[in-house]
Amino acid sequence: MEYRTLGRTGLKVSALAFGCGDVGGLMVRGEPADRERAVARAVELGINYLDTAPSYGSGQSEKNLGAVLRALHPPVIVGSKCRLSQADMADVPGAITRSVETSLGLLGRGRLDLFHLHNPIARVRSERRLGPADVLDEVVPAVRRLQEQGKIRFFGVTALGETGALHRALASGAIDTAQVCFNLLSPTAAHEVPTGYPAQDFDGLALLAGEQGVGTIGIRVLAGGALSGHSARHPIAIPAVDPIASGPDYATDVTRARAFEPLVAEGYASSVIEAAFRFALTTDALSTVLIGTSDLAQLEFAASAVAKGPLPAPAMDRLRSIWAKLATT
């Protein structure tokens, strides 16, 4: 397993990280023995970063991961998040403190290695969205107090929302890590695409993060499963997935994913899924990529794909031609 430095945190994280979310569902709806086997196997494979959140299964993910951590005591980096509700906006510091303390209790840990704000960031505050000034003036001071208490090591954001606002937040110097949407369908956090490309333009967000010393964590590497090229879902996976920063709906993403089949036909990868994993690691702008799994076989496949290394330069050239075609259809 390759290891990369997570920005200014100095943490060495595995190129592949273990996501405990709803999309894959293993750590939410899987059987206890399967959950324990998956985490144990992830550690055997060299994975050392596990990511969860209170919103995954309404706390079930944190509870289940905590049980596995207490059983195995693996040497891993653990991160969780806080998604502020509209009601929480009246007392942001209090809501963050309560969220962190609840997460620590469920996980059975005294400190979170990584803590991410899970709300979208936009120019203007509205409902569950925060503006850059809200993050800096309300969230950061609360996080600093928790860091002084030893309950959080590093603070980050899930970098979703409006591109300009995200750039301003990451340029502030107050954010250590960012979870960035990055996949074959939505590559603009690190790659330029032609005008008219059918996805949100993040305008090199991961590159900016690197310049600022912000550690970057790739999310939605398989576009919620759409890059499998079919709409069928695993029995324990979440039944429906809303796209993030790509198409208007999951079915559109599945259709567009077939545009990447030439990568397989021309011998650059054994499948579009393999190509997706390897693509995510072609840029040094990402330190690690999070994957959500439904079973052990998916974890094994992801690890084997990452072990093959980044896509070669000719494959990247082919990708640019595919993106150009998608921009015109």
Task: Output the tens digit of pLDDT for each of the chain's 329 residues.
Answer: 999 999 999 999 999 999 887 666 777 777 888 888 889 999 999 999 999 988 887 778 898 899 999 999 999 999 999 999 999 999 999 999 999 999 999 999 999 999 999 999 999 888 889 999 999 999 999 999 999 999 999 999 999 999 999 999 999 999 999 999 999 999 999 999 999 999 999 999 999 999 999 999 999 999 988 998 777 766 566 666 777 888 889 889 999 999 999 999 999 999 999 999 999 999 989 999 998 888 888 899 999 999 999 999 999 999 999 999 999 88
- How long a stretch of residues is the chain? 329
pLDDT of res. 239: 63
Helix axes 92-107, 60-72, angle to 10 degrees: 40
- Would you list the domain boundaries of the chain? 3-326
pLDDT of res. 324: 96
pLDDT of res. 233: 66
Alpha-carbon distance of 116 to 159, in angstroms, equals: 10
Question: CA-CA distances (angstroms) from residue 125 to 53, 119, 120, 129, 132?
Answer: 22, 11, 10, 5, 9
Question: CA-CA distances (angstroms) from residue 101 to 67, 87, 316?
Answer: 17, 18, 44
Alpha-carbon distance of 56 to 42, in angstroms, equals: 20
40 dihedral zone (left: phi>0; alpha: psi -120 to 50; beta): alpha
CB 174 within 8 A of CB 140: yes
- 3-class SS of residue 178: strand
pLDDT of res. 236: 60
CB 240 within 8 A of CB 250: yes
pLDDT of res. 209: 97
CB 270 within 8 A of CB 304: no
pLDDT of res. 240: 66
H/E stretch holding 272 reads helix 272-280
pLDDT of res. 274: 97
Where are the strands (E) in the chain, listed by range? Answer: 3-5, 12-14, 16-19, 49-51, 77-82, 112-117, 152-158, 177-181, 215-219, 288-292
- 3-class SS of residue 44: helix
Q: How far is CA 230 from the centre of its chain?
A: 22
Q: How far is CA 292 from the centre of its chain?
A: 9
pLDDT of res. 204: 97
β pairing state of 49-51 and 77-82? parallel
Alpha-carbon distance of 11 to 63, in angstroms, equals: 25
pLDDT of res. 275: 97
User: Which one of 3.60.15.10, 3.30.230.80, 3.20.20.100, 3.30.70.1560 gives the CATH number of domain 3-326?
Assistant: 3.20.20.100
Q: 18-45 as b/e, with b when 16 or more CB fall inside 10 Å?
A: bbbbbbbbbbbbbeeebbbbbbeebbeb
- Residue 106: how many CB atoms within 10 A of its CB? 20
Alpha-carbon distance of 193 to 321, in angstroms, equals: 10
pTM of full prediction above 0.95: no
What one-letter code names the amino acid at 204? G
pLDDT of res. 60: 83
Alpha-carbon distance of 175 to 170, in angstroms, equals: 6
Tokens found for residue 250:
């999951």
